[in-house]
Chain A
Amino acid sequence: MVKQFIIIGNSAAGIAAVEAIRKRDKASKITVISDEEYSAYCRCLITAYLSGEIKEEQVFFRPQDFYKANNIELLLNKKVARVDPKKNRIVLEDKAQLGYDALMIATGARPKFPELKGIKRTGVFGFRTLKDAQNISGLLPVTKTVCVLGGGLIGLKAAYALKKRNIDVKVIIKSRQVLSQLLDSEAAGFVQQRLESHGIEVLLGQDAAEIIGEGDIKAVKLDSGKAIGCSMVIVGKGVSPNIELIKETQVQSNEGIIANNLLQTSVPNIFTGGDSCESFDITLGEHTINALWPVAVEQGKIAGANMAGDSLNYEGSVGMNSVEFFGLPIVSLGIYKIKEGNAAVEELKLNDAKRNLYKKLILENNILVGAILVGDIKNSGVFLRLIRERVDVSPFKSELLGENFGYPTIKDFVKTKERFYV
């Protein structure tokens, strides 16, 4: 029987699901729906596009003939208004209805805009879509100063890209440190110093109170009362998952759509993955959203396989981020700050400011649950493996931060049997 698969979302999780289905099933119909106008592109690359490091065509992570070659119907500029699980159909905003045998909801997320006076003004941008990057880029010839709201990854990546284009950038951060969702304050200090030494102004512990201007933006007024002149504002204050389409249905959600270990929702023929998916997190031991590219691909791959009849188990996600600012690489894995008073927790640390090196490993009952690596990120995959496999590191704990540490040290303690060393 020819089945109909519908994938809502045309990014990491959606495309991975499509490929996983096609690997198992060449005949069924697959429809991919996107509310954007482009074939699949990588959001993470819009920074490199805005900075001028890559050309626009390089953001597309599959060739233009991908859909035709895989016999996929692609619907662009179409938004799904709601899912009707009882009738196995979706309803688009233009009222069109489509039926499915299995559905993948990989609708992603959208930037959160704080409720500020002036936030709706022209010249205030999120930084998520290719369109955002194109619009920002188009205004740069007439832009001198930009205020970035938020010191998370999105805010700092936007700031970095703009600085590369010789724009004055001021980053306004409510928290007392940059990257407060990924790094401890010591590691954040290294990053802040690198940004500042390249001319990005970082304002900590301050929040925007108003965006001032008549027509064009003139300034951002801070909660301290001070105003900072600028003609553009970029908002990097986190994202919220696009899950309105399942509200008031049997599909259960919390912050995101709740997925089980098959990446199935509470409705068995509806699956989810990517930034809209709330799945089990190995280090936290509870469900959360890890809105990250590699997580989305892994989830899409498993969800797609299971839509096509497999029953692959998803062991769970781990928070993992890799970013580089002006030659300073940073990787953050799992838990990055420990709760006070937990006696089972231990920190291993190396701080060498002269060499721009900072490494911190967090162990809980001798199991690695988190790592921060600044300046030297080699072996980060080995640390990730220890985290994922929950390996007891006591036999080699003293070697973890040593120069000679690497896979050979852990090889007898991990799950997969070695076959390359005889």
Chain B
Amino acid sequence: MKQLYYDVKKCLGCKSCEIACAVAHSLTGELFKALAEEKKSLPRKKVLAAGGKNYPVSCRHCEDPKCVDACMSACLTYDSEKGIVQHDESRCVGCWMCVMVCPYGAIRPNLKTKIPIRCDKCKDKDEPACVKACPTGAIIWQEEVLVEK
């Protein structure tokens, strides 16, 4: 299954990925119309700086996801075939348990919609919007690689 990797040497911190993510998850899918939407679409990825480098942070779809264990409404499930944490928003009550336990701080609460925002790997599209939007190729979308632990 494909995962998102980041070549941080290339990341300029321009936040094009954040904007592309918010637009891709808006109702209209277009930047200027998205800005006018009543419930503004928020980016599911955040670029944070540390030690002079920039790090895009978003859900890693962990294989043993703590968020799924903590979810009290069973709106989160792990789909092992697709390698993705699925979020059934219709069951979600906005209890923020997933936010509280995510070891990467990759899930953020949207207080307006009472739904947590998290990367869904743009599951309906061939490639995540952030990958397309990155001007330097810092975001890599490829089959999972095993790194020695």
Residues of A within 8 A of B (CB): 12, 16, 42, 44-45, 48, 53-54, 58, 61-62, 293-294, 297-298, 301, 320, 322-324, 327, 329, 331, 333, 377-382, 384-385, 404-409, 411, 414, 416-417, 419-422
| Residues of A contacting B140 in the complex (Cβ-Cβ under 8 angstroms) | 422
Interface pairs A-B: 5 shortest CB-CB: A381-B102, A408-B50, A294-B70, A408-B55, A61-B74
CA distance A381 to B116 in the complex (A): 13
Supply 5 further A-B pairs (C-beta < 8 A) apart from A58-B91, A331-B96, A408-B55. A61-B73, A324-B95, A377-B99, A378-B109, A421-B8
| Residues of A contacting B93 in the complex (Cβ-Cβ under 8 angstroms) | 45, 48, 53-54, 58
Scan residues 80-125 of chain B and give those whose CB is less than 8 A from a CB of chain A. Answer: 91, 93-97, 99-109, 111, 114
| Residues of B contacting A327 in the complex (Cβ-Cβ under 8 angstroms) | 111
* Cβ A322 vs Cβ B99 within 8 A: yes
Cross-interface CB contact of B100 among A44, A58, A62, A320, cutoff 8 Å: A320
Cross-interface CB contact of B105 among A16, A322, A381, cutoff 8 Å: A381
**Nearest Cβ distance between residue B43 and chain A, in whole angstroms?**
13
| Residues of A contacting B73 in the complex (Cβ-Cβ under 8 angstroms) | 42, 45, 58, 61
Asked if B57 is an interface residue, CB under 8 A from chain A, the answer is yes
Q: Decide: A422 near B7, CB < 8 A? Known: A45-B93, A294-B70, A324-B94.
A: yes
CA distance A359 to B51 in the complex (A): 24
A-B contact pairs, 30 of them (CB 8 A): A12-B72, A45-B72, A45-B93, A58-B73, A58-B93, A61-B74, A62-B74, A293-B72, A294-B70, A294-B97, A301-B69, A324-B95, A324-B96, A331-B96, A380-B100, A380-B105, A381-B99, A381-B100, A406-B105, A407-B48, A407-B104, A408-B49, A408-B50, A408-B57, A414-B103, A416-B149, A421-B6, A422-B6, A422-B8, A422-B140
Contact-residue bracket for chain B: 35 or more
Asked if B5 is an interface residue, CB under 8 A from chain A, the answer is yes
| Residues of B contacting A331 in the complex (Cβ-Cβ under 8 angstroms) | 96, 99-100
**Nearest Cβ distance between residue A158 and chain B, in whole angstroms?**
16
Asked if B60 is an interface residue, CB under 8 A from chain A, the answer is yes
Asked if B34 is an interface residue, CB under 8 A from chain A, the answer is no
* Cβ B95 vs Cβ A44 within 8 A: yes
CA distance A230 to B97 in the complex (A): 34
| Residues of A contacting B91 in the complex (Cβ-Cβ under 8 angstroms) | 58
Select from chain B the residue with minimum beta-carbon distance to A414: B103
CA distance A356 to B95 in the complex (A): 19
| Residues of B contacting A414 in the complex (Cβ-Cβ under 8 angstroms) | 103
**Nearest Cβ distance between residue B133 and chain A, in whole angstroms?**
18
CA distance A366 to B100 in the complex (A): 22
CA distance A56 to B78 in the complex (A): 24
Q: Decide: A406 near B96, CB < 8 A? Known: A44-B72, A61-B74, A294-B69.
A: no
CA distance A48 to B114 in the complex (A): 13
CA distance A419 to B103 in the complex (A): 14
Select from chain A the residue with minimum beta-carbon distance to B94: A324
**Nearest Cβ distance between residue B77 and chain A, in whole angstroms?**
11
* Cβ A377 vs Cβ B100 within 8 A: yes
* B1-31 near A? 1/0 per residue, CB < 8 Å: 0011111100000000000000000000000
| Residues of B contacting A12 in the complex (Cβ-Cβ under 8 angstroms) | 72
* Cβ B97 vs Cβ A293 within 8 A: yes
| Residues of B contacting A407 in the complex (Cβ-Cβ under 8 angstroms) | 48, 55, 57, 103-106
Asked if B46 is an interface residue, CB under 8 A from chain A, the answer is yes
**Nearest Cβ distance between residue A259 and chain B, in whole angstroms?**
18
* Cβ B50 vs Cβ A377 within 8 A: no
CA distance A95 to B60 in the complex (A): 51
* Cβ A422 vs Cβ B101 within 8 A: no
